[in-house]
Structure 1
Amino acid sequence: MEKDGKQKSFTAENYPYTDTTWVFVSNDTKIIKEGYEPPIHDFVLNDLEGVDQAQNILNSEAPVLLVISSQINKGHWQNGILENIIELKQKLYEQGIHTHFLTASSDDQITKFEFDGDAGFDYLNADETMLKTVIRSNPGLVLLQKGNVMGKWHYNDLPDPASFKNPISYSLGQLIQQQNLLLLLCYALGGLIFLILFMQKK
């Protein structure tokens, strides 16, 4: 601020709100603390024409299944995994659930993968670090609905297509199954501890 030819800096605490003789000259902005940066950034999903489809996927009312392989040539496709994912994709398509294949692989690697597996995927190119942040499994599956993650699966734990008729119900069912497994493990551990203590008393 300037007054009588002299300039002075003010903060919000000592700003001369009631003294109208001060004239504004300029302001300085200083970062006190860096703002929150989300763990998943650079969420850009380019199709073969280079058009970003990220917002279409995140805003989709219908569920969307993402098959994620940060690098196709490093993925675990053996033991029928690729065939199971292709079958899953086809059955979900009949239920109105679209599947996208997200990868940071080169066009040549994608072409070879598609030709060898005759997979018929809708490929989207994305940042490798971002994909690994979403899921470490290669390949891994992520189910989205309206931008919310409804399920995540490792390639060794692929879901049953019949369970996808209601993604929210599937998500709750998956949670209940995990809770039941944890409860069963607790019972087993408790029984083992009881048996050890019983044997020591003898």
Structure 2
Amino acid sequence: MSSTITNNTHTRNSWALWFCRIFVGVLFIFSGLIKANDPLGFSYKLEEYFEVFHTTFLNGLAVELAIFLCALEMFFGFALLIGAYSKKIAWGLLLLIVFFSFLTFYSAAFKVVQTCGCFGDAIVLTPWQSFSKDLVLFVLIIVIFINRDKIHPLFKNESAEKGIIIVATILSFGVGIYTYNFLPVIDFLPYKIGANIPDEMKTPPGAKADEYELTYHLKNKKTGETKVMTNAEYLKTAIWKDSNWQIMGEPESRLLKKGFSPKIVDLAISDAQGNDYTKELLSNPFYNVIIVAYNLDKTNAEAINKLNAITLDLAKNYNIRTVLLTSNSAQDADAFSKAHHLFSEVFYADAVPLKSMVRASPGVLLLKNGTIINKWHYHSVPTYDNIVKQYLNQE
């Protein structure tokens, strides 16, 4: 009887351990893969954390760290599933989840980074949602850590296991390196191919707005009594009719329900004098080329020279308008333009939307009627002849 109970307990424990391994392993692979799809975007998130913790000296390594962390997550997840290096992986998972939990709790408690970037732009979580997710993972990883001696490799052949681990490592790093150099495989941002930018900036008629609750701090001029009331209570009790009650300070606002929000809310394009050109550039009924270089100091100079030659030929032969968008000052942009003999017009926008337009510096968008026909990393921009053949000769 006792032997049966022991066996049942052992079976339940074994199943529980396998559940934890599969859940944590798959989630780590998924999380790492989603972020590796857009390592440049993840590096921007890391820079936010560097700023919060006053470690901005690491900004120059943000991309490398982003690719490494994505690969590490995928590697840990895969190794956990096949039972390789169980003790080291258990320690690594524990240290990683403690670190992630601290970051997400700090972000939530002090409201410093509003999205953790755990799943890139594919699944956007609030700081408290991210922290809750990490707490669940922490519990599961504790189970794995306690039972790390009971995790055995699926592959008995040591050489085969090493070979699989090497392949997994190469793939883990390879995904991030590839997407960094040739754009994300899946674009989760609002400026994806086929998107119409003006439409993404609109709020449709009848769309629900955000719902807020106001809290008033009241004081009675006669008695000195104080009250705290929501806007609903304030109106329901009709206390506003009593002139003795005075609102103290500004009312506090709290978001109750999120309403409709356009996918693009922060794009405004202007010239050096501050004149708004957003509508003009996005309503062009003909093909036009947008070169995005959010930071000219970090823009590949050789690529700019190559693009300059292509766009000059497009303008001469097909009257294609080309503009360069940057967040640099007009003075810096003018110096850059003269240094590279830029043919394109230069316009200005905030760095945040420019970073979202295309994950490259420079990146290129081909627009028509505000619709993104195609977009390229500077490593994969087609030749002049290919652009003409694929797009212009189809007219």
> Shorter-chain-normalised TM-score: which range?
0.5 to 0.7
* TM-score between the two structures when normalised by the length of structure 2: 0.33
Aligned-pair CA distance for 1:65 = 0.5
**Do residues 38 (structure 1) and 262 (structure 2) align?**
yes
Contact 1:150 1:168 (8 Å CA) reproduced: no
The residue type equivalent to 2:361 in the other structure is N
Contact 1:62 1:96 (8 Å CA) reproduced: no
1:64 is matched with which residue: 265, 284, 288?
288
Aligned mates of 2:368, 2:258 — CA distance in 1:
31
User: Which structure shows the higher helix fraction?
Assistant: 2
Alignment of 1:95-134 (within 5 A): 95-134=318-357
Aligned-pair CA distance for 1:39 = 3.7
The residue aligned with 1:193 is none
Contact 1:70 1:138 (8 Å CA) reproduced: yes
The residue aligned with 2:273 is 49
The residue aligned with 2:155 is none
Consecutive unaligned residues of structure 1, counting only runs of 5 or more, are: 1-6, 10-29, 171-202
Tell me: CA distance 1:55–1:87, structure 2 relative to 1, closer, same or farther (3 Å): same
The residue aligned with 1:84 is 306
Percent identity, aligned pairs only? Answer: 23
**Do residues 152 (structure 1) and 360 (structure 2) align?**
no
Aligned-pair CA distance for 1:168 = 8.2
Contact 2:289 2:365 (8 Å CA) reproduced: yes
Aligned-pair CA distance for 1:53 = 1.0
The residue aligned with 1:163 is 386
Aligned mates of 2:356, 2:373 — CA distance in 1:
17
Tell me: CA distance 1:169–1:134, structure 2 relative to 1, closer, same or farther (3 Å): farther
Alignment of 1:10-25 (within 5 A): none
* TM-score between the two structures when normalised by the length of structure 1: 0.63
Contact 2:269 2:276 (8 Å CA) reproduced: yes
The residue type equivalent to 1:140 in the other structure is G
The residue aligned with 2:208 is none
Aligned mates of 1:145, 1:120 — CA distance in 2:
20
